[in-house]
Every structure is written in C-alpha cells, then in structure tokens.
C-alpha cells in the first residue's frame, strides 16, 4: 500500500522522518509518496484533503477534524518553541495596531499566537516563512512573525525581537505550546493509521539513537543552513512530545483548541 505523506523541509521534520522515508526502519509493506512543502501550503492542502498523511498547524487541524485524525507521534509541541515578532527598529505595543505584519500563513499557529497576544493587530499578510526576515529588512513590512530556523538567525541580520509570542501563551495559560501535528485521513483503516503512527515513533527513536549526527537527508533540505543551526533547530522542536504526545500533550492541545475557538468566534 502506498500513502502520500507531506511535511516541511525544515530540520525538525527531516530529522523525524528520515528513517521512515529512507527505509532505515522496516515499514512492513507500507510505501510513501513523500512531498516536502512549507507549512502554509500543507495547511491549504489540508482544507482539500489532498494528502493521506500531513503535517498541519493546529489551527488548520482544528478546521479539518472532519477529515483528519491526529496521530500521537511526530508533533511539534513544547516550551520555549513559540514564534517571535520581530522588526527592523523598536515598535511600542500601542503602535502595533497600525503596523503591517508579515505572517507565515493564516492557518498557522504563529498567526493564532499573534492574535492571542495582540488581538488588535489586523494588518496581516501571508508571506513564505523563509522570506519574512528579508521582507522586514527591506521595509516591505513593519513587523514579521518568524518561525523555524529564523529564530536563530534574525539577530545576525540586524533585526530585533519585539515579543516572544510563545512566552505570552506560556505565561497566561501555564501550558506548553502546541505548534503542529501529524494528521492522517480519517477514512483510512484504523489498523493502517495505527501502523503509520507506530512507524513515525520508530523513525524518531531511530533518529535520536544516532544523534548528534546530521544526516545527508537533513543537510540536503536545509540547504545553506549551518550545521550548528540545524542542531539548535532539532533540539528546540523535537522532544518527548514528538515521540508520543502523552496525556500532557493532549491536554495542552485541548487547551489551545478552546482558546482558538474563543478567539476566532469573535472575529
């Protein structure tokens, strides 16, 4: 059986899925048609049920619970992992309402956390996540919400942090931040879903057993990224929740879901 599988080219995802897609573990008859895309593209595809298995930002998953089921493995969730609101020069909080803001996608958790921290920030434009730093530097936008490896590179480019949006969530909610999950088509046989979940867990465990090695697969998709940045990326976004969400992870997701519906029901 062959299933379509979508995730991002970022080091945390290629680290998690390397063993699975490159057959370093026994997939026991399952084959995968692998598509690597940025998270907003995957979120958009989720609305159309395009892939059998896909990484989805939690807001996108909440929108599509009628056709996707969350798996226990492969998720991005934790503390200190939130997106950052950055700028070229200091901006006072009251002025954020007047600022133009580049976001990595409307259905991203990053956009949700921006709305959670600054509900009055409305002038938002979706931009490919890897282009946001340069867009702010070139003054196409006053502010940008950065995710992934840009968390480790914005200062080198002369940008400054206005707010750690994840810290706002953690301080107010006293809970870790659920960023994204791996979701499987609900229409798939339950045995297949459980099998995929088990394979992803084995893939993460295999990657951990060989860390701190950075594989060619991760290097290939990280392109010009420094290996130190790759390791920072992996160590920040891959953790025990990526192996298995557990009760604590599921509780944090339910908490995010409640606040998500509370916020967006008012918009």
- DSSP codes of every residue in 91-144: --GGGGGGS-EEES-TTSHHHHHHHHH-TT---EEE--GGGHHHHHHTTS-SEE
Phi-psi region of 145 (alpha: psi -120 to 50; beta: other; left: phi over 0): beta
- DSSP codes of every residue in 35-94: EE--HHHHHHHHHTT--SEEEEEHHHHHHTTTTEEE-SSS-EEESS---EEEESS---GG
State the catalytic residue, choosing from 148, 195, 221, 233. 148
> Burial code of 229-266, b = ≥16 C-beta within 10 A, e = fewer?
bbbbbbebbbbebbbbbeeebbebbebbbebbeeeeee
Phi-psi region of 151 (alpha: psi -120 to 50; beta: other; left: phi over 0): alpha
Q: Can 48 be counted among the known catalytic residues?
A: no
The residues carrying an active-site annotation are 148
């Amino acid at each position: 059986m062959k299933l379509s599988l979508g995730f991002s080219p970022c080091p945390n995802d290629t680290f998690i899925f390397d063993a699975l897609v490159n057959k370093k573990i026994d997939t026991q008859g399952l084959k995968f048609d692998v598509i690597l895309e940025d998270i907003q593209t995957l979120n958009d595809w989720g609305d159309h049920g395009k892939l059998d298995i896909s990484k989805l930002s939690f807001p996108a998953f909440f929108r599509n619970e009628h056709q996707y089921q969350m798996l226990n493995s492969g998720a991005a969730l934790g503390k200190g992992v939130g997106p950052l609101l950055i700028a070229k020069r200091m901006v006072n909080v009251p002025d954020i309402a007047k600022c133009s803001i580049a976001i990595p996608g409307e259905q991203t958790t990053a956009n949700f956390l921006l709305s959670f921290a600054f509900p009055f920030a409305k002038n938002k434009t979706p931009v490919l996540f890897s282009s946001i730093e340069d867009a702010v530097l070139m003054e196409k936008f006053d502010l940008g919400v950065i995710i992934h490896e840009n968390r480790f590179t914005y200062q080198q480019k002369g940008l400054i942090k206005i707010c750690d949006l994840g810290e706002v969530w953690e301080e107010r909610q006293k809970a870790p931040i659920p960023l994204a999950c791996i979701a499987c088509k609900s229409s798939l046989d339950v045995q297949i879903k459980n099998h995929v979940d088990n394979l992803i867990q084995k893939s993460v465990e295999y990657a951990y057993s060989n860390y701190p090695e950075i594989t060619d697969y991760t290097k290939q998709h990280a392109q010009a990224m420094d290996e130190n940045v790759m390791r920072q990326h992996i160590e920040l976004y891959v953790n025990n929740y990526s192996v298995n969400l557990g009760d604590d992870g599921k509780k944090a997701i339910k908490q995010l879901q409640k606040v998500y519906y509370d916020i967006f029901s008012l918009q």
